Chains A and B, each alone.
Chain A
Amino acid sequence: MRAISLFRKTSQQESGFYALFLTNRLQMLHYMIVMPTVLVQPYMLWVIVVVGILSQFCLYILSKWFASPYPAQGCQGFEKLFGKTGIKILALVSLPFLMLKISFISVSYADIMQHFVFPSMDREWHIVFPIILSCYLALFGMENMVRFVTIVIIGMIWILFLYIPFFLLPSNSIHDLYPLVPIGPEPFAWKSLLLVFSSLSGPEYLIAISYWLSPQRKMLKYLTIANAISVGEYLFISIASLLFYGSNYLPTIKYPSVEMGRYLQSPIFERVDIILISAYMFSIIYLLALFALMVYGASRLLGKAKKGTSRLGLIVSGCAMVTCTLSISKWFWEPGIEQTFWLELQMWAGSSSYLLLPLLVWFAMKRKARTTS
Chain B
Amino acid sequence: MTRFLRTTIVLLASFLMILPCGCVPLPENNMIEEITPIIFWSVKGGREDGKITISTLVPPLSKEKKRVLTLNVSLLNEGNKGFNLIYHNELKAGQIRLLFVDEAYAKRGLTSLINTVLTDPNISKRLFLVITKGNFDEFLAKHLDEKDSIDFYLYRMFKHYEKKKQGEITVVNLHQFMKMLYSQVSDPQLPVFRAEGEQLLYEGTALFDWDRMVAEIRGQDDQISQLLYRDRFVRYLVLPDLSVTLGHIRAHTRKKLTSDLSSLSIEIDVKGRIDELDSLTRIEDNFQYVALTQKIERYLEENVFHLLSQMQHLRIDPLQIGGLTIKPFSRPITRDTWDRHWSTMKINVKVRLHLEPLTKVK
Stretch at the interface among A46-54, A99-107, A193-201, A241-249: A241-249
Chain A proximity of B285: nearest CB distance (Å):
40
Contact A179 B329 (CB under 8 A): yes
Stretch at the interface among B78-86, B121-129, B205-213: B121-129
Contact B121 A175 (CB under 8 A): no
Contact A184 B178 (CB under 8 A): no
Tell me which residues across on chain A come within 8 A of B21, comparing CB atoms.
122, 124-125, 128
A170 at the B interface (CB under 8 A): yes
| A319 CA / B20 CA spacing, docked (Å) | 13
Contact B329 A181 (CB under 8 A): yes
Known: A122-B25, A248-B182, A315-B9. A173 touches B323 (CB 8 A): yes
Interface of B is mostly: loop
A262 at the B interface (CB under 8 A): yes
The total of chain A residues at the interface (CB under 8 A) is 42
A222-273, CB < 8 A from B? 244-246, 248-249, 252, 259, 262-263, 265, 270
Tell me which residues across on chain B come within 8 A of A326, comparing CB atoms.
20
Chain B proximity of A240: nearest CB distance (Å):
14
Which single residue of chain B is at the shortest CB-CB distance from A185? B331
Contact A180 B328 (CB under 8 A): yes
Contact B332 A184 (CB under 8 A): yes
Contact B184 A265 (CB under 8 A): no
| A187 CA / B22 CA spacing, docked (Å) | 46
Cβ contact of B26, chosen from A121, A128, A311, A315, cutoff 8 A: A121
B13 at the A interface (CB under 8 A): yes
Contact B330 A179 (CB under 8 A): yes
The total of chain B residues at the interface (CB under 8 A) is 40
| A118 CA / B176 CA spacing, docked (Å) | 27
A159 at the B interface (CB under 8 A): no
B14 at the A interface (CB under 8 A): yes
Known: A184-B331, A262-B124. A170 touches B165 (CB 8 A): yes
| A315 CA / B332 CA spacing, docked (Å) | 56
| A326 CA / B20 CA spacing, docked (Å) | 9
Contact B326 A175 (CB under 8 A): yes
| A252 CA / B329 CA spacing, docked (Å) | 25
Q: Chain A 175-214 against B: per-residue CB contact (8 Å), 1 yes, 0 no?
A: 1001111011100000000000000000000000000000
B4-45, CB < 8 A from A? 6, 9-10, 13-14, 16-18, 20-22, 25-28
A171 at the B interface (CB under 8 A): yes
Residue from B6, B27, B121 with most neighbouring chain A CB atoms (10 Å): B121
Tell me which residues across on chain A come within 8 A of B332, comparing CB atoms.
178-179, 184
Known: A124-B22, A171-B179, A175-B323. A119 touches B122 (CB 8 A): yes
Tell me which residues across on chain A come within 8 A of B26, comparing CB atoms.
118, 120-121
B77 at the A interface (CB under 8 A): no
Contact A246 B182 (CB under 8 A): yes
Q: Which 8 A-B pairs have the closest CB atoms?
A: A249-B182, A124-B21, A183-B331, A248-B182, A180-B328, A120-B28, A178-B326, A175-B326
Given contacts A115-B121, A171-B230, A248-B182, 12 further A-B contacts (CB under 8 A): A122-B21, A124-B21, A124-B22, A132-B14, A175-B326, A180-B328, A248-B184, A249-B182, A262-B124, A263-B125, A319-B16, A326-B20
9 contacts between A and B (CB under 8 A): A119-B121, A121-B26, A125-B25, A132-B14, A178-B328, A249-B178, A263-B175, A311-B6, A315-B13
Binding site for B on A (CB under 8 A): 115-116, 118-122, 124-125, 128, 131-132, 170-171, 173, 175, 178-181, 183-185, 244-246, 248-249, 252, 259, 262-263, 265, 270, 311-312, 315, 318-319, 322, 326, 330
Binding site for A on B (CB under 8 A): 6, 9-10, 13-14, 16-18, 20-22, 25-28, 121-122, 124-126, 165, 175-176, 178-179, 181-184, 230, 320, 323-324, 326-332
